[in-house]
Amino acid sequence: MADAMDFVFWPACVRLRPFREHVDAAVAGGFTSLVVSTDTIDEAVQSGLSLAEMKRIAEDAGVPIRHYDSLTAWAPIRLPSWAPPRMRARFDVPMTRALDICDALHVTNIVAVAAFPRNTVDLDQLIEGFSDLCDRVAKAGMRAELEFMPILGVPDLVTAWDIVRGSARKNSGIMLDTWHFAKSGSSIELLRSIPGEYLGSIQLSDGYADLRGKDLFEDMIQWREFPGEGELPVLDLFKIASSVGKLRHVGPEVFSKRADGMATREAGVRSGAAMRAILAG
């Protein structure tokens, strides 16, 4: 897999469905790997599945679980006080439990998210925490990729790059989400300047230039579009990341009310088709 493109199914478009339907959607869309989060795991366990069974189900279907989303315990604050229940279930996970999950599933990539409020943690403390995470997972061959989000404590590319560059770990990188990049007003020039080894993964997500919903959080979780179906420069960002980075993991991530209304296989097929249209472009 090291020399092949990994088509990653980020199950945002089937977020209201159980784990087995995440697998079905990934297969329908022609993806090659699957992402899990702790809230999905907890729901699967309540239905009677173990981590070992989840791993086997995904592997038997041809979409092995390679990615864990999201780990927030690398920072001293795991989530903002205003976090709604679903966000809390996904983010409020102690480091030990998160790493135990990653070990049990044999994931290769961990998405590190800064879920604390903006301007509440010093940069040096963040560099130290991210460095520690990278060191803890290095022996297992895992890679930690920091995702920035304009609503949270690492709001843009420049801040994420300060942390990743400051950590200087070989198994670190930046998770480039095209929606977050566009909505944060991050710099194209900075993106072009980042060494390619730190740009191995991209989430393709479209949306609208103007705010949809009551605030940016609602815009983020309800009003995204499949890549190429909105107003954001998804194709341009993919071309830049492809030219300067060493992309190995590519997949759409679409949180939207419209996707929530789709049938499971329909959402998977739509995700795969939209992703391949961007790659063809």
| DSSP secondary structure of 18-39 | -HHHHHHHHHHTT-SEEEE-HH
- The pLDDT of residue 1 is 38
Give 206-253 pLDDT, tens digit per residue. 999 999 999 999 999 999 999 999 999 999 999 999 999 899 999 999
Is residue 205 within 8 Å of residue 253, measured between CB atoms?
A: yes
- The pLDDT of residue 2 is 41
Say whether 226 sits in a helix, a strand or coil: coil
Which has the closest alpha carbon to 100: 128, 75, 132, 136? 136
| Residue at 1 is within a domain | no
| Residue at 43 is within a domain | yes
| Residue at 82 is within a domain | yes
Residue 103 CB neighbours (<10 A)? 13
* Token pair listed for 70: 């999201």
| Residue at 163 is within a domain | yes
Q: CA-to-CA distance for 131 and 129, rounded, in angstroms?
A: 5
Say whether 176 sits in a helix, a strand or coil: strand
User: Directed axis angle between helix 38-46 and helix 95-105, to 10°?
Assistant: 70
Q: 144 lies in which domain range?
A: 6-280
Q: CA-to-CA distance for 266 and 178, rounded, in angstroms?
A: 23
Q: Which residues contact 190 (CB under 8 A, 6 or more apart)?
A: 157, 158, 161
Residue 273 CB neighbours (<10 A)? 15
Type of residue at 257: K
First vs last Cα of the chain: how many Å apart?
23
Q: How many domains does the chain have?
A: 1
Q: Which residues does the chain have with pLDDT short of 50?
A: 1-2
* Token pair listed for 50: 């173990």
Residue 269 CB neighbours (<10 A)? 16
- The pLDDT of residue 3 is 55
Is the backbone peptide bond immediately before 81 cis, with ω within 30 degrees of 0? Answer: no
| Residue at 66 is within a domain | yes
Helix extents (H) in 120-232 = 123-138, 157-167, 178-184, 188-193, 216-222
Q: CA-to-CA distance for 183 and 157, rounded, in angstroms?
A: 11
DSSP secondary structure code for residue 117 in this structure: P
Using alpha carbons only, give the angle 126, 127, 128 rounded to the nearest 5 degrees: 90
Burial of 41 (0-12, 13-18, 19+ CB in 10 A): buried
| Residue at 178 is within a domain | yes
- The pLDDT of residue 281 is 87
Q: Which CATH number do you get for residue 164?
A: 3.20.20.150
Give 146-177 pLDDT, tens digit per residue. 999 999 999 999 999 999 999 999 999 999 99
| Residue at 206 is within a domain | yes
